[in-house]
Structure 1
Amino acid sequence: MLLLVLLAFVGRSLVVISLIVGFLSIPIYTRVARATTLAVAEREFVRAARTMGAKNSRVLAREILPNVVLPVAAFGLVAMGVVIVLEGTLAFLGLSVQQPAPTWGGMIFDGKRYLSEAPHVVLIPSIAMFLTVLSLNLVGDSLRSRFDVRGSNL
């Protein structure tokens, strides 16, 4: 709802939509980064670095940060799929960028009137959008499972 309200006040350009979606995603990324940081901070190698006398900034830069960046990046790939579906939904409803700019949601919306005669007009952008989101989710999920802090056996 907040996205729709902001779009009504600010405008519907690609830059504005990208900035609003990015701004509204900050709490989600913050929560993932915080949870991952708290899990990494309790690991044995962090305790060992602290025991050996490493300063907090060194522990953060050398031990915690490298182990937090990859899970957050993996989450970013999954979240990118959500953003693609969100923009497609906005475009299908006519609330995204204006008509000359091609979007998958806009193509699906334009092709729905030809659905009975030429279903490929709707199917091709739908399948392309589906495959893109699926591939982002699969890559993000495999990265997440590979670099999951809670699942490793150290």
Structure 2
Amino acid sequence: MTQANSTDTPHPAWREKLALLTESKTAVFGLVVVGLLLFVAIFAPLLAPYAADDFTDTVLSGPTISHPMGVDQLGRDVFSRVILGARISLQIGLEAVSIALVFGVALGMVAGFYGGRIDALIMRLMDIMMALPYILLAVLIAAVLGPSLQNGIIAIGIVRIPRFARLARAQTLATMQLPFIEASRCIGSSSTRIMFKDLLPNIIGPISVYCTLSLGEAILGAAVLSFLGLGAQPPTPEWGAMLYEAQRYVTTAPLLSIFPGLAIFITVLAFNLLGDALRDILDPKSKR
């Protein structure tokens, strides 16, 4: 009987969730687009037919065989700059979300674990940050730090900290009610051990899903900063910076803004669809 039970063991949970993921058309679309984005970002220098600062003899020309997306006001190949911009945009998303993840999860776990005045102080600070509009706060921080790609990443990372902190706090409070936490306390485990050995592995799932959603929002936020002149600066081939350069040619050469705009739209859409699908699979109660 024991052998029969062991042979009839169901598939591991991750296989079931992977099957659910592949059954969702929106999830597959998001996964495919994100995979292509990663591929393009990794091999961008090999895929781009021209360097970002290669100049041609013509300017503001439309699509041709040698320049599928045309050339910009300085004679640079738009197709190559869009491809090279994928690496920069992905770098922005990963670095900004990493900043928010590290500081937000740390603050949220401390607030939820210790409670009391520490909880009240941290959460009131997070509430103050969330009281200001997301983009407005990012613009203020970027303006104070100075316009640059790295400062734009820092600004986007900072404004996303409260959202990670609130999520981590909520997950910490829920996990603290489980019996194994009390068992760890009873055997004399230190607070640090409980937080990193018991709490963190049990709250990382929902936080990982939120990271996927935040990647798209971070890329969009950084593009907005660059469009306002506070993020990546020309001639950096970042999609928002490309829009910033193309705004004065909207009527004469609209394709200059359409292609980087489409790149931003498709990338953000893919990350949002993938994040929504992962959330629904990992937490079926969240389905609307």
TM-score, normalising length: structure 1: 0.76
Measure the CA separation in 1 of the matches of 2:271 and 2:163: 18
Percent of aligned pairs sharing the same letter = 36
Q: Number of paired residues?
A: 146
Question: Is 1:2 aligned to 2:130, yes or no?
Answer: no
Matches within 5 A, 1:142-153: 142-148=277-283, 151=285
Mapping of residues 77-92 of structure 1, within 5 Å: 77-92=212-227
Give the 3 Å change call, closer, same or farther, for CA 6–64 of structure 1 in structure 2. Answer: closer
How far residue 61 of structure 1 moved from its aligned partner, in angstroms, is: 5.0
Q: 1:128 is matched by which residue type in structure 2? A: A
Deviations for 1:31-85, whole angstroms, at most 9, x for unmatched residues?
Answer: 011112223344xxx32x357x443667655554223112111111211211111
TM-score by length of 2: 0.44
Q: Flag structure 2 segments of 5+ consecutive residues without an equivalent.
A: 1-135
Change (3 A) 1:13 1:110: closer
Q: 1:22 aligns with which of 151, 157, 165?
A: 157
Q: Deviations over 1:2-56 (max 9, x none)?
A: 33233223212222221222222222111011112223344xxx32x357x4436
2: CA distance, partners of 1:13 / 1:109: 14
CA RMSD across the alignment:
2.7
Alignment pair present for 1:109 and 2:228: no
Q: What is the distance in 2 between the residues matched to 1:37 and 1:151?
A: 19
Shift of 1:99: 0.9
After superposition, residues 62-141 of structure 1 pair within 5 angstroms as 64-141=199-276
Q: 1:60 to 1:20 in 2, by over 3 A?
A: same
In 2: Cα distance, 1:31 partner to 1:117 partner: 47
Among candidates 164, 173, 176, match of residue 38 of structure 1 = 173
What is the SS of the residue equivalent to 1:101?
Answer: coil
Q: Is the 8 A contact 1:71 1:143 kept in 2?
A: no
Kindly state the Cα deviation for residue 112 of structure 1 after the two structures are TM-superposed: 3.5
Aligned-partner SS, 1:107: helix
Following superposition, the deviation at residue 134 of structure 1 comes to 1.0
Detail structure 1 runs of 4+ shifted over 4 Å in the superposition: 56-63
How many Å separate the matches in 1 of 2:151 and 2:246?
Answer: 26
C-alpha change, 1:140 and 1:15, in structure 2 (3 Å) is same
Change beyond 3 A, Cα 1:9–1:114: closer
Q: Is the 8 A contact 2:147 2:232 kept in 1?
A: yes
After TM superposition, the structure 1 stretch with the greater mean CA deviation from structure 2, 87-96 or 109-118, is: 109-118
